[in-house]
Structure 1
């Protein structure tokens, strides 16, 4: 399977301005998009997940209601919602956009080091 680099382009639902996107580090792993029953939503929906055999603890939350926005030979863009722990015993759902590109080198998974999208 092809390793992918993924950048989350929103923070707490707010789009990160283009001039700040250079600071974002990519998360490297395998992309899986499939229909799943999400108990919290009480329905079946398309879910995108990133997996890494070596860095599962810092894995990004799944993208629920994942919809492909744009797919080219160079990159894919998915949008949806992700559920984040609010720190006081609950959760908050935020809009999120993932920009995904094929990894240039396949040496490590998880955080892609200094390589940025």
Structure 2
């Protein structure tokens, strides 16, 4: 099924005017269904003159997948991280959080400020 031209125009306008967005954000702004927006974005990416590209993937927002962040332009798409690289980044985040908890600072910025002022 071909996407509606006004949805494609809305996608391109939002990406050009507001900046990079995920499909879910685009659907919320356009008041349309996510699958309709996804089809429109893919057709913009597959056109002869590519107008939308994948800027990056948002890792860490979901355990099952990393949503793509789309931007307006004709640049090459970003590559997905390999499974081992994603696991390594998750390990580094966990290691950092545990080190913060052991130091007593936690990740709360107000606790950090209170400890700095109290010294």
Question: Scaled by the length of structure 2, what TM-score is found?
Answer: 0.23
TM-score by length of 1: 0.23
Greater strand proportion = 1
Between structure 1 and structure 2, the one with the greater Rg is 2
Q: Greater share of helix residues, 1 or 2?
A: 2
Which gives a bigger RCO, structure 1 or 2 (Cα 8 Å, sep 6+)?
A: 1
